Amino acid sequence: MKEDTLSYIRNNKEITFEQKIRLVIMLSLPTILAQVSSIIMQYIDASMVGRLGAGCSASIGLVSTTTWLLGSLASAPSLGFSIQVAQLVGAKKFNRARRVFLQSFGIVLLISIIIGAAGAMISWGLPAWLGGEESIQKDAAMYFLITSLSMPALGFNRLGTRMLQSCGNTRTPGILNSMNCLLDVIFNFIFIFRWRGFGFGLGVMGAALGTTAAEIVTTIIMFYVLMFRTPMLSKGYGTDSDEKAGLATIKKSFVLSLPVTFENVVMFGAMITITRIVAPLGVVAVAANSFAITAESLCYMPAYGIEEAATALVGQSIGAGRGKLALSFGRISVAFGMGIMAFTGLLMFIFAPFMIGILTPDPAVRELGVTILRIEAFAEPLYGASIVVTGVLRGAGDTLVSSLMNFFSLWAIRVVLSFLLVGRYGLVGVWIAMAAELCFRGAIFLVRMERKKWLKKV
């Protein structure tokens, strides 16, 4: 059913409202399940480190936002190539799509190596610069160093995931990334602990090594599927001319990716700045902040699954020259995302003590974590709107304006409010600022989508 309905987009056939809803759900569910399983495994992962003490948790939490920044930079180039592939598949130019896919290899590898090397160079000075206590700086530096060196594996994992999703295949990357999470837990247990002569007992360093090993195994399998089990990207599929992808493809990829790269720098730069604001509050605040971020991700990760589906559906619709269909898919996806995040936000508010409790045995960290998590619950629906609308705009190739909107929202509202509130309310003030900013961001993204200017770009 999914394959048949996807072909309706490319072949300019009418799609009923019920079919659109079914297609959005069917494309979203595998990715949502993968995202949720990812967070469940991260819970287990975080609880493993949490059993080592608040200091070990704080050492990872201190550098986590900078780690996410490197990962986003390493994977950003894959977005520009995958958007082109989605639009080419929508236009039934399958041979051309394969050429773009193959060309993306070298670019993603080169950039991820550069990003990883840069991270390795700053690893030993970063924890001190972020304001971490001296007792956690060594573990934080080692964790960041190993994670930086794993950037090529992460970059290729995101490339493979996005390419499969661009072809309408969300099931395979969903299964593989779920497997990645399971492998992460297994490898982490082996590397972090030593129990009755089994395992390496490397602590925080073992957490980084376990995650890297899982990423490498998953990426190898994913690229086998792409090269040999994906007809739209396999040689000989389609009847369009076998036009080579040249410099124009690379240029277009950078035009599409650079605003997103800027957006990631803006987003994670703001988060790093907030980490510096939080760090002087002490180990308990840093650990609670880290655990609450992990707990909250259980709520918003489903929206990222819907975002991936929206990007693929809108991209194929745009490639087929069907702007009205792209808008319809966008609206359905956003409504779906907001509904899910309203529900998960409610669950987060109710079960906050349990969610934080399984991550740490420290009572002070638990109490503070529950308080800030419940503040964030009220912002989840509009946060979901901003996430899914971003996917809609990216599918249409409209990446610049959304990046500028994120820049203004994060720095003019979240960072400024955090500075103003942290002195009086501590970590609670930082999370009040975060909730206010997410509500504002969701509202302006909804306005952007409904003004439809992104449709005029295609």
- How does DSSP assign 86-139, residue by residue? HHHHHTT-HHHHHHHHHHHHHHHHHHHHHHHHHHHHHTTTHHHHTT--HHHHHH
How many whole angstroms separate alpha carbon 373 and alpha carbon 435? Answer: 10
* Residues 53 and 131 sit within 8 Å (Cβ to Cβ): no
Q: Single out the residue of 207, 212, 214 nearest to residue 192, CA to CA.
A: 207
How many whole angstroms separate alpha carbon 35 and alpha carbon 362? Answer: 27
- φ, ψ of residue 195 in degrees (nearest 5): -130, 115
Residues 6 or more apart whose CB falls under 8 angstroms from that of 366 comprise 353, 356, 357, 360
- φ, ψ of residue 413 in degrees (nearest 5): -115, -60
The residues with which 198 forms a beta bridge, in sequence order, are: 195
Task: Report how many helices (DSSP H) and strands (DSSP E) the chain contains, helices first.
Answer: 17, 0
How many whole angstroms separate alpha carbon 446 and alpha carbon 226? Answer: 34
How many whole angstroms separate alpha carbon 85 and alpha carbon 395? Answer: 11
- At 109 the pLDDT is 93
Question: Exposure of 200 by Cβ count < 10 A (0-12 exposed, 13-18 middle, 19+ buried)?
Answer: middle
DSSP conformation class of 440? H
Token pair recorded at residue 197: 């002569």
Instruction: List the pLDDT tens digit at each of the 458 positions of the chain.
Output: 445 677 788 778 888 888 888 888 888 887 777 667 666 665 666 678 777 777 888 888 788 888 888 988 898 889 889 889 988 888 888 888 888 998 998 899 999 999 999 999 999 999 999 888 888 899 999 999 999 999 999 899 989 988 998 887 878 888 888 888 889 889 988 999 888 788 899 988 998 999 899 999 999 999 999 888 888 887 656 555 555 557 888 888 888 888 878 878 888 888 889 988 998 998 899 889 988 988 888 788 889 889 988 988 998 898 888 889 999 999 999 999 999 999 999 999 999 999 898 888 889 999 999 999 999 999 999 999 999 999 999 888 887 888 889 889 999 999 999 999 999 999 999 999 999 999 999 999 999 999 888 886 55
Q: Helix, strand, or coil here: 195?
A: strand
Burial letters for 361-399: b for 16+ Cβ neighbours within 10 Å, e otherwise? ebeebbebbbbbbbbbbbbbbbbbbbbbbbbbbbbbbbb
How many whole angstroms separate alpha carbon 257 and alpha carbon 327? Answer: 22
- At 38 the pLDDT is 60
Burial letters for 258-277: b for 16+ Cβ neighbours within 10 Å, e otherwise? bbbbbbbbbbbbbbbbbbeb
- The radius of gyration of the chain's CA atoms, rounded to the nearest angstrom, is 21
Residues 6 or more apart whose CB falls under 8 angstroms from that of 229 comprise none
How many whole angstroms separate alpha carbon 323 and alpha carbon 288? Answer: 45
How many whole angstroms separate alpha carbon 441 and alpha carbon 417? Answer: 14
How many whole angstroms separate alpha carbon 42 and alpha carbon 35? Answer: 10
* Residues 312 and 97 sit within 8 Å (Cβ to Cβ): no
Domain ranges across the chain: 2-457
- φ, ψ of residue 198 in degrees (nearest 5): -105, 135
- At 2 the pLDDT is 46
Residues 6 or more apart whose CB falls under 8 angstroms from that of 80 comprise 252, 253, 254, 255, 256, 257, 260
How many whole angstroms separate alpha carbon 133 and alpha carbon 110? Answer: 35
The residues with which 195 forms a beta bridge, in sequence order, are: 198
How many whole angstroms separate alpha carbon 124 and alpha carbon 142? Answer: 8
Residue whose entry in the numeric block shows the structure tokens 């400024």: 416
